[in-house]
Structure 1
Amino acid sequence: MRVLVTGASGLLGSEVARTLVRQGHEVTTFQRRPSGVDGALDILGSVTDDDDVRRAVDGAEGIIHLAAKVSFAGKAVDFQNVNVEGTRRLLERARAAGVQDTVFVSSPSVANSGSAIAGLGAEPADPQRAHGNYSRTKAEAELLALGFDAPGFRVAAIRPHIVWGPGDTQLVERVLARAGHNRLPLLDAGAALIDTTYVDNAASAIVAALHRMDHVHARSLVVTNGEPRPIGELLADICTAGGVQAPSWKVPGAVARTAGVVVEKLWTWAKRSEEPPMTRFLAEQLSTAHWFDQRETRRLLDWAPVVSLDEGLARLSDHYARTPYPKG
């Protein structure tokens, strides 16, 4: 199959592209900088540019769409342009080009209003209840994408939850950077039970969705390792792997959530571009349980994770043994 992967310069997108190459597919990647994926053809461009998108979708039979603006901060219009309008543009051009199947890579945050999630499946995406520009626009984009599903143009949404692994800058290196500067508190003593997804598992599930479109089109599925642990324990394990002192100072979750709201407003008022030390969304993620029932996901995808949480942490430790995380 000729498959286009958007956003393949990131941790997950590049692993998705590698997985497809290993399976023998003809893979093209589309993003703003080279993917570094051997065996794939790069097309450089942006989902915000119509001509770029037309070039990218030309000749594709299937698409895996990961390109997105992912951040705790930033202008709402930038999230809207990339996550919503970029998705709309890609789907419209893909349908016109005769693409058959598209997997939209979403996020469980599209259905999370900040309350605890314990053993649920993929609840409906809701832009009105999602917190933060990223979650809100991803929710809107997921609803948009599934609305395109039709005979001859099938669309499915896969929501990998907290993807991490060696080379990860979204979670792992943020944890190490904040912990290394003693800026990572344990909210509510780090007791909230959360699940995560090792990058290899997330990639294989996403690729499985492309192969199982008969079973998953027009649906949303959450993907995780299925091994929930207290967040304090997970943060400590990541810090140990990176050779950084684990966080130990504790803050009540309610205090952090209130502080996050205040800090976000201050950042917006001051027009600061760097990420704030705390946001409402981050405080919610660090202080509430979020783990999911994986039985339906595994049945529909005919898939199961192959890298356990402990094996993933061992691989992370090996990575930092070869390439030590810079202190200071």
Structure 2
Amino acid sequence: MRVFVTGGSGFVGKRLIEALKTRGDEVRALARSDKAAGAVREAGAEPVRGDLDDAEALRRGMEGCEAVVHAAATVKTWGPREEFFRVNVEGTQRVLDAARAAKVKVLVHVGTEAMFVGGRPIVEADESWPRPEKPLGLYPLTKGLAEERVRAANGQDGLRTVVVRPRFIWGKGDMAVLPEIIAKVRSGQFRWIGGGHYQTSTCHVANVVEGLLLAMEKGRGGEAYFLTDGPPVEFRAFVTRMLDASGVKAPEGEVPRAVAHVLATVAETAWRVLPLEGEPPLHRSVLKLIGEEVTVNDAKARAELGYVGHMTREAGLAEMRG
């Protein structure tokens, strides 16, 4: 089939394009720069120059396509409110509008468990988990609003919309989470929150791609599906192994969770009120996502999609070492 991908130059997007090409699909990918165009071309897709603000580029890219995978988003912990809404909410709406106009059959949206930050602790969450009234942070807020629009668009003009929510995406080629952790370790800023001895769900990028392809084929319209590598693992133990696979020794420093929360609250307030340049050294949303247990249940994806999560953590770590 013909598939259009947003976010194709990103960590998930590039692996997805490679998988689509391997199975014989024709792939186009949105590219907002020469660098992004080169990345998607190298992965095997035809670049379509433009961004999520460009309705004409979206229309051109989706013309004749049967499926769309929307992976593009502003994935940051701090920044202008306008940017988060423009990209994550309004950009998603433009993708939906273009897909409906192009008579695309299915759109799969990459969601996140982060949309639940600000509510009750995310422990063994399933797809019925309630969104908080006041999400903590602009990324959780806007990703929740984007997913709401995606699911509401199901059935409009024959479009089937499906959401997948992978937790803690990792693997070789990660351009966001692990590099940031390594940078903080090397600068001496990294501390284990509360010792780091709590459970976390994870999802290797290959398993994210597996879930995306299955959702495209079998996902029920208007539904969301969590994806993981299987049973949870201790956060500190897993991050230590990822650092080791990257040739970096894990630090020993710790900070009590209550102290970290106070520091993050003070820092965010100072950066908003003064305001200060850059971003706060600590964020309350980040503490909620990696400073305490976050576990999700992917039983629905396994039962309805036939999702397995073929890439094991051991294999994924070995791939990183290689």
Question: Which residue is equivalent to 1:211?
Answer: 217
CA contact (8 A) 1:195 1:224 kept: yes
Number of aligned pairs? 316
Question: Which residue is equivalent to 2:9?
Answer: 9
Question: Which residue is equivalent to 1:298?
Answer: 302
Question: Which residue is equivalent to 2:46?
Answer: 41
CA contact (8 A) 1:192 1:286 kept: no
Q: CA deviation at 1:262?
A: 1.9
Q: CA deviation at 1:146?
A: 0.5
Q: CA deviation at 1:136?
A: 0.5
Cα distance in 1 between the residues matched to 2:164 and 2:215: 8
Cα distance in 1 between the residues matched to 2:128 and 2:310: 25
TM-score (norm 1): 0.91
- For residue 314 of structure 1, the aligned residue among 306, 312, 318 is 318
Is 1:222 equivalent to 2:226 in the alignment?
Answer: yes
Cα distance in 2 between the residues matched to 1:252 and 1:162: 22
User: What code does the residue aligned with 2:216 have?
Assistant: L
- Alignment map for 1:103-252 (pairs within 5 Å): 103-113=108-118, 115-124=120-129, 126=131, 128-150=133-155, 152-213=158-219, 216-252=220-256
Instruction: For residue 295 of structure 2, give the secondary structure of its aligned residue in structure 1.
Output: strand
- Alignment map for 1:87-102 (pairs within 5 Å): 87-102=92-107
Instruction: For residue 124 of structure 2, give the secondary structure of its aligned residue in structure 1.
Output: strand
Q: For residues 283 and 306 of structure 1, do their structure 2 counterparts lie closer, same or farther at Cα, with a shift above 3 Å needed?
A: same
Question: Which residue is equivalent to 2:265?
Answer: 261
Percent identity of paired positions between Structure 1 and Structure 2? 29
User: What code does the residue aligned with 1:238 have?
Assistant: M
The gaps in structure 2 that reach 5 residues or longer are none
Cα distance in 2 between the residues matched to 1:159 and 1:78: 22
Task: Provide the aligned C-alpha RMSD in A.
Answer: 1.7
Instruction: For residue 42 of structure 1, give the secondary structure of its aligned residue in structure 2.
Output: strand
TM-score (norm 2): 0.93
Question: Which residue is equivalent to 2:22?
Answer: 22
CA contact (8 A) 1:259 1:280 kept: no
